Amino acid sequence: MRAPDTTVKAAAPVIAFDKITLAFGAKTIISDLSLEIGRGEIVCVIGPSGCGKTTALRVAGGLIPPTKGTVRLLGEPMAGPRRDVAIVFQDYAKALLPWRTAAGNISLALEAAGVAQSERGDRIRDLLTKVGLAGHEDKYPTEMSGGMQQRIQIARCLAQDPAVLLMDEPFGALDAMTRQGLQDEMLAIVAETGATVFFVTHDLEEAVYLGDRVIGLLPHPGRIGIDQRIDLPRPRNQLETRETLEFLRLRRTLFDFIEKAEH
Amino acid sequence: MKRAWWKGLVVPAALIVLAELAMRVQGSTSMSLAAPSDIVAAFFAILFDGSLLLATRDTLVSAGIGLAAGGFIGLALGILFGLVKPLDRLMEVTIEAIRPIPSVAILPIAMLVFGFGYRMEIAIVAFSCLWPVMIMTRSAMAGIEPRLLEVSRALRLSTWDRVHKIVLPAALPRIMVAFRLAASIALVVAVTVEIAANPLGLGYGILVAQQALQPAVMLAYLVWIGIVGYLLNAALSLMQQRLFGRAGRVEAAS
Ligand SMILES: Nc1ncnc2c1ncn2[C@@H]1O[C@H](COP(=O)(O)OP(=O)(O)O)[C@@H](O)[C@H]1O
Ligand SMILES: [Mg+2]
């Protein structure tokens, strides 16, 4: 299926952090962080809570400028949010417009991109089908389950035709079954679109299951403590992949890392 | 749903009967009170001679235009202050200084500027409605979910799109509450101005009846003002539900 193309990666990282430092006032949150993510790569970011995962993701999304260093996106210095970089927030209930239906929420991204009204209907139906919500276009967010709401947010992000998906613990608030379903749907979508993914999670198994690479951050200040390749074959399978020795070994490695990082 | 809806009417009905009896037994010639039956008779009298409807129209026109003008200015300023934080801080002291002035206190000035009539009344109603709408709009804007503003940044919405697709709809339920409050203020202020100075409308009707020693007519006006206020609030409440539909009710509940 999809394997990160190392030649392309060497040529042009999709996301490049070059010695990023970020401080809020006197408090340094991220210190001297360098990271390159290649085209189509799925990079999962783990670390103890408060270590700066969300902050790093917001820097990657252009929502906060770094105090020092540069972020490059597809070779260009990042000057602010871009429409080809889509952000999936954990709190889907707050990220959706409660006064718009599912279709209306997805439409917002199309409107922002200036897609003609006549084309939006078809695009919205395609996107809803892609996230498994065909026929739910007229529901309001509060009439949908958490899993469905998160799917709507993902569909809205896909409507941006993103080269990069930044996901901040997107499945963290969902129950185990829903979470596994969404993990597989996400992998299928990403395989199809070829998007590069920066995926923050506190679930180590999720990180191993999804990632081509897992970055572990150390706290105070946030910096890279481990950069672990995940060479599990794709497509991955919720039962078989999770039972392989390699999966268990990787999980153990990350577990030990977190244990140490928390002290 | 078989709730005994009439139970709530027992006490008012008993009071009315009691009042009627008291007035009849006593044979009152009071200048401030009247028997309910006399009030009803007076009500129909002023209804059929057209004076009640004319007065109602005058009051509602003044209150309505004043509400619209003051509400619009308040809304615009509230949005402006909500969007432009430095301006908000700049104006804070000024606003805090003007706001506590009781609206009726500007009556002498308004009379000097506009004389008697609609314009003076409208100006005072507008002044009274401006503040609650402005302040509640501003706080509605401050209360918008920050995540939604972040979404609008991430999507790179234009300022205009951000205002009319995110900010206004998000603030609208609370702005609507502000307008309902302002509407009740508008009616109160309009009637007050009419009683105090302006020779038109329902307030003036009460004043004339009082001075003509017709307590039944005066009380008929009073009851009618209560009914008008109730209907106004019911109409606005209905409008609010229509406007927001399913999503609005959900929003208001959360
Ligand atoms: N806007 C902000 N102002 C000040 N401090 C912040 C802000 N946002 C986050 N922080 C601090 O930065 C640190 C890292 O936060 P965050 O990136 O959210 O961590 P994580 O996502 O890894 O749990 C925390 O100590 C948090 O309190
Ligand atoms: Mg976080």
Separation CA B21–CA B182 (nearest Å): 39
CATH fold of the domain at B35-253:
MetI-like fold (1.10.3720)
The whole-angstrom distance between A170's CA and the closest CA on chain B is 14
pLDDT score, position B32: 72
A63 and B157 within 8 Å at the Cβ level: the answer is no
Q: Which two tokens stand for residue B145?
A: 């979910």
pLDDT score, position B238: 87
Contacting residues of A for B156, CB less than 8 Å apart: 81-83, 112
A111 and B161 within 8 Å at the Cβ level: the answer is yes
Is residue A225 within 8 A of residue A256, CB to CB? The reply is no
Report residue B253's pLDDT band, with 50, 70 and 90 as the boundaries.
very low
Q: Distance, CA A204 to ligand 2 centroid (Å)?
A: 15
Task: Output the CA torsion sign for A52, A55, A61, A65.
Answer: negative
pLDDT score, position B251: 45
Q: Is the pLDDT of residue B195 over 50?
A: yes
Q: Are strands A213-218 and A42-46 parallel, antiparallel or unpaired?
A: parallel
Q: Is the pLDDT of residue B183 over 50?
A: yes
Q: Is the pLDDT of residue B1 over 60?
A: no
Domain boundary assignment for chain B: 35-253
ipTM > 0.95, yes or no: no
User: Is A92 in CB contact (< 8 Å) with chain B?
Assistant: no
B169 and A94 within 8 Å at the Cβ level: the answer is no
Separation CA A206–CA A184 (nearest Å): 11
pLDDT score, position B98: 82
Is residue A151 within 8 A of residue A132, CB to CB? The reply is yes
Ligand 1: residue of A46, A55, A168 to mutate (most ligand atoms within 8 A of CB) is A55
**B21-30, pLDDT tens digit by residue?**
888 777 767 7
Q: Which residue of B has its CA nearest to A110?
A: B155
Q: Is the pLDDT of residue B83 over 90?
A: no
Contacting residues of B for A108, CB less than 8 Å apart: 151, 155, 165
Q: Which two tokens stand for residue B172?
A: 């609208």
| Mutation choice for B interface testing from A54, A96, A97 by most B CBs within 10 A | A97
**B3-26, pLDDT tens digit by residue?**
677 888 888 888 888 888 888 777
Tell me the residue type at A146.
G
Q: Which two tokens stand for residue A9?
A: 């990666």
pLDDT score, position B28: 66
What percent of chain B clears pLDDT 90, i.e. is strictly above it? 43
Is residue A44 within 8 A of residue A35, CB to CB? The reply is no
A63 and B153 within 8 Å at the Cβ level: the answer is yes
Is residue A83 within 8 A of residue A112, CB to CB? The reply is yes
pLDDT score, position B7: 82
CA B220 to chain centre: 20
Is residue A174 within 8 A of residue A186, CB to CB? The reply is no
**B48-63, pLDDT tens digit by residue?**
998 999 999 999 999 9
Mean pLDDT by 10 residues, chain A (263 residues): 48 88 93 93 95 95 94 92 94 94 96 93 93 92 93 94 95 91 92 94 96 94 92 91 94 94 83
| Mutation choice for A interface testing from B147, B153, B155 by most A CBs within 10 A | B155
Q: Which one, of B56, B52, B14, B46, lies nearest residue B231 by Cα?
A: B56
User: Is A160 in CB contact (< 8 Å) with chain B?
Assistant: yes
pLDDT score, position A82: 94
Report residue B82's pLDDT band, with 50, 70 and 90 as the boundaries.
confident
Q: Which one, of B89, B164, B172, B183, lies nearest residue B137 by Cα?
A: B172
Which one of the ligands is nearest to A172 CA?
2
Report residue B242's pLDDT band, with 50, 70 and 90 as the boundaries.
confident
Q: Which one, of A193, A184, A203, A132, lies nearest residue A164 by Cα?
A: A193
pTM: 0.80
Q: Which two tokens stand for residue B134?
A: 């402005």
What is the SS3 string spanning A111-122? HHCCCCHHHHHH
Is residue A160 within 8 A of residue A115, CB to CB? The reply is no
Share the mean pLDDT of chain B.
Answer: 87
B169 and A108 within 8 Å at the Cβ level: the answer is no
